[in-house]
Amino acid sequence: MAGRAHVVVIGNEKGGSGKTTVAMHLAVGLLRLGFRVGCIDLDHRQQSLGRYIANRQDWIGRSKVVLPVPVLGAVSQSVSDLKSESVAEECRAFDGVLAGLGETADFIVVDCPGADAPLARHAHTHADTLITPINDSLLDLDLLGQLDPVSRELKRSGVYANLVWELRQERRKRHKSGIDWVVTRSRLSALVDRNKLMMAEVLPQMQRVLGFRLAEGFGERVIYRYMFLWGLTVLDVEQACIGMEMTKSHQSALDEVCALLANLWLPRVNERLDRLRPPAGR
């Protein structure tokens, strides 16, 4: 990485798409692969990623179990009444936190709010990798592209795809490099319906036009939501000390996390993925 942290931004203008779940599992996965990881939570109101990490630290203190924890960098919210000054202050603060974490981290994971916010836009221009989780829903798909209901052809790009295109151009001007954009289908149901079949049909067509890569995300599994109270992930089940056994469903969730890590093509990650899987025979 030539002394520079690889920045992964989790972005989507729609809430409830599983951004924080992806961010936390990505951070813990990278930590368990032996990398140094920093995190930034840009949702000043909900602070879901910050709460996730705080819950993890609380559980470590309470249970004395040894778990890897990412370094959380805080970007203070501006108190300026003038919008232009407020945006400039927060962007400068973000740049400072990013630079500070970059002095020691191999990867920095940035969790953006589910809205079009100036600070989130600014963060996108720093992304080496952009991950956009979308629910398996035509409503979520509309953010990427608007479809003809009969032909299912792409009529025009959606608001978020347009934003990413603009920010890619801005990044090239600022940093002389592009953004690897990965879209993942999240909260996948095991049931097959018309909606799911249409998503599977149109997304591969859209990626060629809109310039993203498509990767399978996380299924609709209770485990992903259940572990939040302890600050744990599916990667922590065997160490968690919460009386939970590794079931087939949990193993499937672990496989999903490993598959996502593999499909992100992050530097030096794929060569270490075997570290996340238990030895044969267990």
Evaluate whether 236 touches 24 at the Cβ level (below 8 Å): no
Region of poorest pLDDT, from 84-88, 102-106, 149-153: 149-153
Long-range contacts: 253-256, Cβ < 8 Å, 24+?
253/218, 253/219, 253/221, 253/223, 253/224, 256/216, 256/217, 256/218, 256/219
Q: Would you say residue 194 has pLDDT above 80?
A: no
107-162 tens-digit pLDDT = 999 999 988 999 999 999 999 999 999 988 888 889 999 998 888 889 999 999 99
Separation CA 174–CA 253 (nearest Å):
38
234-245 tens-digit pLDDT = 999 988 888 888
Distances (CA, A) of 177 to 4, 106, 123, 211, 253: 14, 18, 15, 15, 33
Q: What is the pLDDT of residue 191?
A: 58
In the chain, where are the structural domains located? 6-274
Separation CA 123–CA 94 (nearest Å):
8
Q: Would you say residue 3 has pLDDT above 80?
A: no
> What does the mean pLDDT of the chain come to?
90
Q: What percent of the chain clears pLDDT 70, i.e. is strictly above it?
A: 95
Distances (CA, A) of 68 to 7, 141, 237: 19, 35, 13
Evaluate whether 55 touches 228 at the Cβ level (below 8 Å): yes
Q: State the pairing for strand pair 129-135/180-186.
A: parallel
Alpha-helical (H) ranges within 81-158 are: 83-102, 118-124, 138-141
Q: What is the pLDDT of residue 140?
A: 87
Q: Would you say residue 184 has pLDDT above 90?
A: yes
The pTM assigned to this predicted structure is 0.93
Instruction: Read off the DSSP letter of residue 78.
Output: P
Q: What is the pLDDT of residue 192?
A: 60
Region 190-202: mean pLDDT is 75
Q: Which CATH code is given to the segment(s) 6-274?
A: 3.40.50.300
State both tokens at 257.
């996390």
pLDDT band at 281 (very low <50, low <70, confident <90, very high): very low
211-236 tens-digit pLDDT = 999 998 888 888 888 899 999 999 99
